């Protein structure tokens, strides 16, 4: 099984995206077969979009991933799937690392954050750390997107070259007397 088969096994069917509560709002745009096409370019682009948005502290990441996948003509299901790198379990450590990275770059002393699950705590803390958090999110989101894009392109290329070599070898063996 090649990479195409691997990804097809992971991804939901087209109709599931058309029926999704947020993505269904895109209507007939979701009937474009190009955004579900799976090749080296579309897979790498979809993964890059998803990884970038996973690091962004914005609501509606899934919808934004779908819009960007449509705009850049890359694989929409992969873009949406990779947004979920950030989820309720990973968001706290992910954003903490982003904040620490941004504070380091801005040469700010990182604050010790005593977490409370309240809107008052969040609005007070975000006001004080937003610049470091946003810088860290942009930097690490871009870095993860580039690494994801390059990795998929490289792994896909290696898989294709191996298939070519296997075909050549089979042909060579078949041509032997």
Q: What is the pLDDT of residues 83-133, one digit of tens each?
A: 999 998 998 899 889 999 999 999 998 877 776 667 777 777 777 888 999
Query: How far, in Å, CA of 134 to CA of 159, rounded?
Result: 37
pLDDT of residue 28: 61
Contacts of 8 (CB under 8 A, 6+ apart): 38
Higher pLDDT, 13 or 139: 139
Q: How many residues does the structure list for the chain?
A: 177
pLDDT of residue 2: 66
Q: How confident is the model at residue 137 (pLDDT cuts 50, 70, 90)?
A: very high
Query: How far, in Å, CA of 27 to CA of 90, rounded?
Result: 31
Q: Angle between the 91-105 and 119-175 helix axes, to the nearest 10 degrees?
A: 100
Domain boundaries, the chain: 3-91+145-175
- How much is the mean pLDDT over the chain? 84
Give yes or no for a contact between 72 and 176, defined as CB atoms under 8 angstroms apart. no
């Amino acid at each position: 099984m090649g990479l195409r088969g691997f990804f097809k096994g992971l991804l939901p069917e087209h109709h599931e995206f058309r029926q999704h509560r947020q993505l269904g709002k895109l209507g007939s745009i979701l009937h474009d077969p190009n955004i579900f096409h799976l090749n080296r370019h579309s897979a790498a682009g979809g993964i890059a979009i998803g990884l970038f948005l996973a690091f962004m502290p914005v609501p509606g990441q899934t919808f934004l991933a779908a819009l960007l996948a449509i705009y850049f003509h890359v694989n929409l299901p992969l873009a949406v799937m990779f947004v979920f790198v950030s989820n309720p379990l990973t968001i706290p450590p992910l954003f903490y690392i982003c904040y620490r990275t941004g504070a380091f770059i801005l040469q700010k002393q990182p604050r010790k954050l005593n977490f409370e699950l309240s809107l008052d705590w969040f609005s007070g803390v975000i006001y004080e750390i937003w610049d470091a958090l946003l810088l860290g999110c942009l930097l690490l989101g871009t870095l993860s997107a580039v690494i994801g894009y390059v990795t998929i392109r490289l792994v896909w290329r290696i898989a294709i070259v191996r298939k070519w070599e296997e075909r050549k070898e089979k042909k060579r063996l078949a041509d032997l007397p």
